[in-house]
Amino acid sequence: MNHFLNRRRFMQATSSAIAAGALSSTASHVLAQSSGELRLNMSAGNFGEAVMSAFVKPFEAETGIKVTPVYQDIRAAQVGLMVKTNNVTIDTVLLGQANALLLAENDQLEKIDYSIHGQRDLDAIAGFCKHSFGFGSYIYSSNMVYNTKKFPANKPRPSHWAEFWDVENFPGVRALPSGQYGYPGSFEEALLADGVAANALYPIDIDRAFASLEKIKPNVRKWWTSGAEILQIMRDGVADIALSYDGRALALIDQGAPIEINRNQARLTCDYYVIPKGSPNAHNAQRYIAFTGRADRQAAFAQLFAQSPSNRNAFELISEKVARKLATYPDYMTSSFTVDGEWYAKTGSDGLANSQRLIQRWNAWIVR
Amino acid sequence: MEKLQKLGRMPVGLIIPAIAILFVIFGVPIVQLFLISVNAPSFSLVNYQAFFRQQENVFVLFQTIKMSVVATAICVIIGYPTAYLIVIASKPVRTGLIVFVFIPWLTSGLVRTYAWTVILGDHGLINNLLLDLRLISDPLPLLYNRLAVYIGMVHIMLPIMILPLLSVMQGIDQSLLAAARSMGARPFAAFWRVFLPLSLPGVRSGTLLVFVVSLGFFITPQALGGLRDAMLSNFIAVQVASSLNLAPIAAAAFILLAIAVFMLSLFGMDIYGTQDHRGRTVRKSWRSQLSSLGALPRYLNEIAIPYRARHWAAQLYQAGSGSSWSKIAGAVFVLLVMIYLLFPELIVIIMSFSAGPFLEFPPSGFSLQWYRSLFGDPSWIRAFWDSFQIGVTVTILSTIAGTLAAAGLARTSPRPRTFLMMVILTPITFPAIVVGVAAYLGLVNLGLIGTKTGIVLAHSIGSIAYVVVIVAATLANFDQRLEHAAKSMRAGPVRTFMRVTLPLIRPGIIGGAVFAFIASFDEMVVTSLVSGFSIRTLPLKMFENINQQIDPTIAAVGSLLTLMPVLWLVALYVTWWRSRLRLQDAPVNSVA
């Protein structure tokens, strides 16, 4: 009995039996240790294609480093597991602000080495995009988006969030992002609708935000949970007016869909490139991140995929026509506000991060 | 070696391969997770207390149970008659129907869920039809509510219910029904007193599978449900996505497991039932014990029995016997079920020819672009091939380990059997994301992260559970005296198994194998954790752009995967048709 349950022996026998069959197994960490490599996370589709041609291909040509794209939606806990078990198989991960900062607070990320960034580029990068543990190479926004069949430009339509909340004067089907992940949600917009000034949003008054959400709750047809979902909701005309990422709306507009973006009170944010602690090619990752800060590369990216450069110098290289599509186009900036990712990741005296607090509150709120 | 043989002869020995895989990949990390959930080494229940202190957790826990029970009940109500009608159909029809039941499983859940929004949406097919017919003036809210969640859940779960039912029903000797009829039982009585009891292991096994799998649902309620229609796995998945603290996640998962154990023990989870082939003493039914109120009808019934027996014998030799009404009703029922199962599939196929860059229905134009993008991108082909290889290996491994375990459990006494069964079921009871975390920890210890071997093992723990439950159901009706008879005639254990046991439980093994393959081929959550970002299976490839948009190529993939079994079916029909022609051409006297 005893020798039968000997774990290692059993495993050796089974795994070699399987390997000897149809499968050839290659341990990834062996591959990842070669010096001229970089395993880089990104989303696939048009986004991935734009990243490849604006950043990855020129980077490979310039440095000789071989980049392997990893197309996957990676969760914070997954990075945490890799770091904790000392088995990091990826060098650069693209994460939303709150998740990236959560990992940073838990000491699971490498510090970004800003000494290798060009000074002229670094000076032009938006402040919230150059965090000590994460770097944002593009900025995007969440906006009010109209279906122009229901809300044509020549008729009165909601122009700011208080009017979005005003269902009596502006009847129509609404869609908002779910707050189930704590970040992102519709908390800032709820506060704006309730009369909070854009520069006084943080720290978020959670009670007030939920009281405001309560008012709009009966009129929201769907609380969406992914970019793919809100895109389909707008395409299929499920909602007449919605809070959506600008990128998804622009993709529809380019296809001739009856959609229009309202840039007033837009919420600006970025995704962070982070380097998990113990990444096998951390140095290459640092070089890649510095590369994505360059104005010329960001300009090239913005022309392929409508996400705004975090380096304002890039606008000098972008045509006016393209620039008007971008979230940080100077005219829009005055009426936009920036997400405070730090607030979401900040841990209170009870050990809970603010994003966690929002999740708990959200769960309690939806079942009420 | 001798020791090994001896072990193999013991019932427990047969269970060892399954338990060993489970233990190595899953057991050690699950114990780790449990210790984390009780804050070892200081040991406290604070994570569990915290769970129950939050009322919304308790609410969603009950909601999860309720939704799983309802979905399971609907699956039994629809699945049982469907399976019965499939089994009594002629062989060509039966084969076709079985394939149709499984076709929906070959399309990614992502597109199928979207197909439901196309059908049920405010501007969807049903509402548009009703509006056009002027039956309604405003769209009905069919989507984003509980009803839509049930429609989506049952659509996914119905094949899981039907499969074990088919495996068991196909093993039921139809001559037993004929015997009952020949002794004057009404068709319904013959069904109720003979067929139904014999098919109960299939009901139990299907119910068990559907219930535990339903407990772990989260994509369907999120996509088709309203704000309130959350299930516990939604909460758990959010925790994994946004927190690094495993303790509350582990506590929630163990609470879900405890609920599953409790519910299953409530309904009796021993699939094998009480095996008793010694012949039961005639028990009076509770009704006859009540009083003599129903005596008269019973008396009349007794008189009619000899008549019915004679009538049945006469009927037997008449062509086209049986009432045509019940046949029509049966056919209509099966047709409706098939429409329910396959209509979303049809939508997916139509969308795959769309000219626009997004999933759209009706398509704005016709184009083959998504098929071109599929065949033009070698990574799709590679992903398909990887998934296929992994699926086949998982199927072989888990069918062998699972069948042995089911056979071993059949020989174990009920108490340890129930416990072992629950252990084997754990990987499909836990939310997939927690299984993924556990399998990750298990495979890290073995250095198998990012290898196909690792993915195969991680998939196998779930697939073994499916195989065990389905094979166990066919074994429940298996008369062990047949094995004793073989052994008494000096057949060795291997020979007895190959010549007696195996042929009798074959439907169950085939069913289990099909399931093992599909479960592996479709698996996404666990794979995303243990693939170490170096292997892209087909489901992972389908999900890689979900942050931005659903790539219509997925619809093309689903359509092509649907095409394969259909082509196989056509080929099968052609061979049957040909062989029939040959038989007809042959001289009459050579026909057996």
Do A146 and A115 share a domain, yes or no?
Answer: no
| Residue A37: strand pairing partners | A66
The answer to whether A134 and A41 are in contact (CB under 8 A) is no
Q: Which residue in chain A has the smallest CA separation from B447?
A: A27
Give the span between the Cα atoms of B578 and B584, in whole angstroms.
10
In this structure, what token pair is assigned to residue A258? 């009856």
Give yes or no for A328 touching B (CB within 8 A).
Answer: no
pLDDT one digit per residue (tens) for chain B, 592 residues: 455 455 445 667 888 899 899 988 888 899 989 999 998 888 899 999 999 999 999 999 999 999 999 999 999 999 999 999 999 998 889 999 999 998 888 887 778 888 999 999 998 999 999 999 999 998 899 999 999 999 999 999 999 999 899 989 988 888 888 888 888 888 888 888 889 999 999 999 899 999 999 998 888 999 999 999 999 999 998 988 888 888 999 999 999 989 888 887 776 666 776 544 444 444 444 444 444 555 666 677 777 777 777 776 666 655 455 568 888 999 999 999 999 999 999 999 999 999 888 888 888 889 999 999 889 989 999 999 999 999 999 999 999 999 999 988 888 888 788 888 888 988 998 888 889 999 999 999 899 999 999 999 999 999 999 999 999 988 887 877 888 888 888 888 888 888 888 888 888 899 899 889 989 998 988 999 999 898 999 999 988 877 677 788 888 998 998 888 888 888 888 888 888 888 777 655 544 3
- Residue carrying the six token digits 């709120």: A365
Count of structural domains within chain A: 2
Instruction: For CA atoms A135, A292, B358, A147, give the dihedral sign.
Output: positive
Across the interface, whether the CB atoms of B529 and A232 are under 8 A apart is answered no
Give the span between the Cα atoms of A324 and A308, in whole angstroms.
10
Q: Is residue A345 part of a domain?
A: yes
Give yes or no for A147 touching B (CB within 8 A).
Answer: no
Q: What is the pLDDT of residue B313?
A: 67
Across the interface, whether the CB atoms of B389 and A48 are under 8 A apart is answered no
Do A250 and A349 share a domain, yes or no?
Answer: yes
Contacts of A251 in chain B (CB under 8 A): 357, 549
pLDDT-based confidence at A57, cuts 50/70/90? very high
Give the gap in angstroms from C-alpha A71 to the nearest C-alpha of chain B: 5
Give the gap in angstroms from C-alpha B193 to the nearest C-alpha of chain A: 45
- Residue carrying the six token digits 């070089």: A287
Give the gap in angstroms from C-alpha B19 to the nearest C-alpha of chain A: 10
CB count in 10 Å sphere of residue B202: 32
Give the gap in angstroms from C-alpha A222 to the nearest C-alpha of chain B: 7
Q: What is the pLDDT of residue A111?
A: 97
Contacts of B392 in chain A (CB under 8 A): 22
Q: Does residue A29 have a pLDDT over 70? A: no
Of A75, A90, A367, the CB nearest to B59: A367
Q: Does residue A7 have a pLDDT over 60? A: no
Contacts of B109 in chain A (CB under 8 A): none
For chain A, what is the total number of helices (H) and then of strands (E)? 18, 10
Give yes or no for A33 touching B (CB within 8 A).
Answer: no
Mean pLDDT score, A71-91: 91
Across the interface, whether the CB atoms of B453 and A19 are under 8 A apart is answered yes
Q: Which residue in chain B has the smallest CA separation from A229?
A: B549
Question: Which value does ipTM take for this structure?
Answer: 0.86
Q: Is residue A4 part of a domain?
A: no
Across the interface, whether the CB atoms of B240 and A77 are under 8 A apart is answered yes
Label residues B61-91 b or e (16+ Cβ within 10 Å = b): bebbbebbbbbbebbeebbbbbbbbbbebee
Q: What is the pLDDT of residue B431?
A: 85
Q: Is residue A332 part of a domain?
A: no
- Best of A3, A6, A8, A18 to substitute, by most chain B Cβ atoms within 10 angstroms, is A18
Measured in degrees and rounded to the nearest 5, phi and psi for residue B230 equal: -85, 150
Q: Is residue A1 part of a domain?
A: no
Q: Is residue A262 part of a domain?
A: yes
Do A66 and A107 share a domain, yes or no?
Answer: yes
* CA-wise closest residue to A84 among A110, A111, A104, A107: A107
Q: What is the pLDDT of residue A19?
A: 37
Instruction: Indicate the Cα dihedral angle A40, A44, A50, A51, nearest 10°.
Output: -10
Across the interface, whether the CB atoms of B238 and A11 are under 8 A apart is answered no
Higher pLDDT, A8 or B183: B183
Do A237 and A118 share a domain, yes or no?
Answer: no
Q: Does residue A47 have a pLDDT over 70? A: yes
Contacts of B108 in chain A (CB under 8 A): none
- Best of B7, B354, B382, B549 to substitute, by most chain A Cβ atoms within 10 angstroms, is B549
**Weakest mean pLDDT among A22-36, A335-349, B421-435:** A22-36
In this structure, what token pair is assigned to residue B188? 């319904």
Q: Which residue in chain B has the smallest CA separation from A79?
A: B244
Do A223 and A81 share a domain, yes or no?
Answer: no
Across the interface, whether the CB atoms of B546 and A228 are under 8 A apart is answered yes
Q: What is the pLDDT of residue A4?
A: 35
Return the SS3 of A337.
Answer: strand
Amino acid at B11: P
Chain A residues 275-294 with CB within 8 Å of chain B: none
Cβ neighbours of residue B354 closer than 8 Å, sequence gap 6 or more: B360, B361, B363, B364, B365, B366, B367, B370, B552, B555
Do A48 and A189 share a domain, yes or no?
Answer: no
Chain A residues 248-267 with CB within 8 Å of chain B: 248, 251-252, 255
Return the SS3 of A37.
Answer: strand
Give the gap in angstroms from C-alpha A272 to the nearest C-alpha of chain B: 15
Of A11, A108, A181, the CB nearest to B24: A11
Q: What is the pLDDT of residue A319?
A: 95
Q: What is the pLDDT of residue A23?
A: 36
Chain A residues 52-111 with CB within 8 Å of chain B: 70-73, 75-78, 80-81, 85, 87, 89-90, 98-99, 102-103, 106, 108
Contacts of B144 in chain A (CB under 8 A): 221-222
Across the interface, whether the CB atoms of A180 and B448 are under 8 A apart is answered no
Q: Is residue A3 part of a domain?
A: no
CB count in 10 Å sphere of residue B355: 14
Give the span between the Cα atoms of B474 and B532, in whole angstroms.
38
CB count in 10 Å sphere of residue A70: 22
Going along chain B from its start, the domains and CATH numbers come out as 1-44+377-551 (1.10.3720.10), 58-175+187-268 (1.10.3720.10)
Q: Which residue in chain B has the smallest CA separation from A223?
A: B227
Q: Is residue A228 part of a domain?
A: yes
Alpha helices (H) in B38-173, listed in sequence order: 46-53, 55-88, 91-102, 109-120, 125-132, 146-170
Do A256 and A182 share a domain, yes or no?
Answer: yes
Which CATH number goes with the domain that contains A243?
3.40.190.10
Q: Is the peptide bond before A203 cis (omega within 30 degrees of 0)?
A: yes
| Residue A175: strand pairing partners | A222, A242
Do A15 and A35 share a domain, yes or no?
Answer: yes
Q: What is the pLDDT of residue B342?
A: 94
Do A20 and A100 share a domain, yes or no?
Answer: yes
pTM for this prediction: 0.88
Label residues A255-279 b or e (16+ Cβ within 10 Å = b): eebebbbbbbbbbbbbbbbbbbbeb
Sort residue B377 into left (φ over 0), alpha (ψ -120 to 50) or beta.
beta
Do A274 and A261 share a domain, yes or no?
Answer: no
Give yes or no for A37 touching B (CB within 8 A).
Answer: no
Across the interface, whether the CB atoms of A364 and B21 are under 8 A apart is answered no
Across the interface, whether the CB atoms of B449 and A77 are under 8 A apart is answered no
Give yes or no for A9 touching B (CB within 8 A).
Answer: no
Mean pLDDT score, A243-270: 95
Q: Is residue A274 part of a domain?
A: yes
CB count in 10 Å sphere of residue B43: 9
Across the interface, whether the CB atoms of A4 and B534 are under 8 A apart is answered no
Across the interface, whether the CB atoms of B536 and A237 are under 8 A apart is answered no
Q: What is the pLDDT of residue B322?
A: 55
Q: What is the pLDDT of residue B492?
A: 84
- Best of A183, A213, A226, A355 to substitute, by most chain B Cβ atoms within 10 angstroms, is A226
* CA-wise closest residue to B512 among B390, B389, B406, B385: B406
Return the SS3 of A64.
Answer: coil
Do A240 and A275 share a domain, yes or no?
Answer: no
Range of the domain at A224: 140-269+337-366
Q: What is the pLDDT of residue A5?
A: 35
CB pairs under 8 A between A and B: 221
The answer to whether B217 and B153 are in contact (CB under 8 A) is yes
Do A263 and A282 share a domain, yes or no?
Answer: no
Helical axes B246-267 vs B432-446, angle rounded to 10°: 120
Q: What is the pLDDT of residue A329?
A: 94
Sort residue A241 into left (φ over 0), alpha (ψ -120 to 50) or beta.
beta
Give the span between the Cα atoms of A204 and A213, in whole angstroms.
13
